Amino acid sequence: NAGVTQTPKFQVLKTGQSMTLQCAQDMNHNSMYWYRQDPGMGLRLIYYSASEGTTDKGEVPNGYNVSRLNKREFSLRLESAAPSQTSVYFCASGGTPWNYNSPLHFGNGTRLTVT
């Protein structure tokens, strides 16, 4: 029972570098999400994918891109990292998007530092 697998766990980037965070789920969920967690601000939604083939912006999409590669995988890309993107990133999945009773299942997070 892997659930949601997220890689890498830690990453340090220099300003301007790029990287992709990988996420895969084996629960056959339709919807997948990328959040960032900053102190005192809870989790803020970056992008989400309600189903395979669709992606939409969340609350804080600037500086990020996403790809829903297939039903299992949803990646987050930082094209040109900035210090403001230093954060903990969580991938999550959660059933069918119109089911408001579906809890999210989270990966273990990626701690990203941009210097």
Partner 1 sequence: AQKITQTQPGMFVQEKEAVTLDCTYDTSDPSYGLFWYKQPSSGEMIFLIYQGSYDQQNATEGRYSLNFQKARKSANLVISASQLGDSAMYFCAMRDTGGFKTIFGAGTRLFVKA
Q: Name the residues that contact partner 1, by CB under 8 A.
A: 31, 33, 35, 40-45, 48, 50, 58-59, 88, 90, 92, 94, 97-98, 100-106, 108-109, 111
Q: How far is the CB of 100 from partner 1 (least distance, A)?
A: 4
| Closer residue to partner 1 in complex, CB, 9/77 | 9
| Closer residue to partner 1 in complex, CB, 76/97 | 97
Kindly state the greatest CA–CA separation across the chain: 40
| Closer residue to partner 1 in complex, CB, 24/92 | 92
Q: How far is the CB of 94 from partner 1 (least distance, A)?
A: 7
| Closer residue to partner 1 in complex, CB, 17/105 | 105
Q: How far is the CB of 52 from partner 1 (least distance, A)?
A: 14
Using the CB atoms, write b or e for 68-81: b if 16+ within 10 Å: beebbbbbbebeeb
Q: How far is the CB of 16 from partner 1 (least distance, A)?
A: 27
SS3 86: coil
Residue 15: exposure state from Cβ atoms within 10 A (0-12, 13-18, ≥19): exposed
Residue 33: exposure state from Cβ atoms within 10 A (0-12, 13-18, ≥19): buried
